[in-house]
Structure 1
C-alpha cells in the first residue's frame, strides 16, 4: 500500500466526514462515551477544524485519514487525527503523525481520551504522558471525560 500526505482540499470533505464519523465511534467506545457521539458536520465549526492546517493521507489514491493542528518554530499541537477504521494498522496514522512532526519546530502535544487504544500508538512513536485532566468533552460539552496530554520532544542532536 502506497501512502502519501497532501494538503486538504474542499473536495475531501465527504471523505474526511465519513472517516471521522466511523473512527470517532471507536474513540468514544474505548472511553465509554458512546452517548456523547456527534458527527463531524455537527462539531467541526465549534471545534475549529479548519482554524489550523489540515492534511489528508491517501492510500493507493483514496483518502484514508486526516490530521489537523498548528505548527510553529517552537513546536505544535495535533488537534485532530482520524484514520478510516477499515485501514487501521496499515501505516496511515504513522505517516500522518510523522508528517506533522517533521513540520513542527520542536515539541508537539496532543490529547487522547482515557481508554482510547490510540494512546499506545502515540507512545510507540515517542510521545510521553505529561498530564491527566478531567473536564468537559470537546465537541459535546454536556459530557465529562478524562484526557491525557501526551508530548513528543525531538531527539537531541
Structure 2
C-alpha cells in the first residue's frame, strides 16, 4: 500500500464528496444524530471547507481521505477530517493527523461529537479533552449536539 498526502486539487471534489458523505453517516450515527445528515455539497460553503488548507490522502493513487484546517506558527485547528469507510483502520487517518501536526507550529485543536468513535482514535494520538459544550450542530443548526474539544500539545524540547 502506497500512501501519499498532497494538497487538494479541484479534480478531487467528487472523491471528497463521496468520502465525506459516507463517513459523515458513521459520525452522526455514533452521536445519535443521523437525522441531521446533510451531504458535503450542501454544507461545504456554510462551514468554510475551503477557508483553510485542504489535504488529501491517496492510497495507491486513489483518494482515500482528506483533512482541512488552519495552521500557523503558534498551532492549528483541524476543522474537517474524513476517511473512506472502506479504508478505515489502515493508517490513513493517522497519517493525515500526523501530517497536519507536523505543519503546525504548536498545539492542535479539534472538536469531536459526543458518541463519535473517532474520539478514542484522537486520544490514542495524544489529544486530550479540554472542554465539552452543547449547542447548535455545525452545518445543520436545527439540531443540538454535544461536542468535545480535544487538544494535542507537543512535548517540551
Q: Deviations over 1:11-38 (max 9, x none)?
A: 0000000000000000000000000000
1:27 aligns with 2:27: yes
- Aligned match of 1:58: 58
CA distance in 2 between counterparts of 1:58 and 1:46 reads 26
CA distance in 2 between counterparts of 1:139 and 1:71 reads 22
Q: Per the alignment, in what secondary structure is the counterpart of residue 77 of structure 1?
A: strand
- Aligned match of 1:120: 120
- Aligned match of 1:8: 8
- Aligned match of 1:129: 129
What is the TM-score when the length of structure 1 is the normalising length? 1.00
1:91 aligns with 2:91: yes
Q: Which runs of structure 1 show a deviation greater than 3 angstroms over 4 or more consecutive aligned residues?
A: none
Q: Deviations over 1:68-94 (max 9, x none)?
A: 000000000000000000000000000
Q: Deviations over 1:54-113 (max 9, x none)?
A: 000001110000000000000000000000000000000000000000000001000000
Query: RMSD of aligned C-alpha atoms?
Result: 0.3
Structure 1 unpaired stretches of 5+: none
CA distance in 2 between counterparts of 1:79 and 1:102 reads 16
CA distance in 2 between counterparts of 1:113 and 1:82 reads 14
- Aligned match of 2:105: 105
CA distance in 2 between counterparts of 1:155 and 1:72 reads 18
- Aligned match of 1:38: 38
**How far does residue 2 in structure 1 lie from its aligned partner after superposition?**
1.4
Structure 2 unpaired stretches of 5+: none
CA distance in 1 between counterparts of 2:107 and 2:93 reads 19
What is the TM-score when the length of structure 2 is the normalising length? 1.00
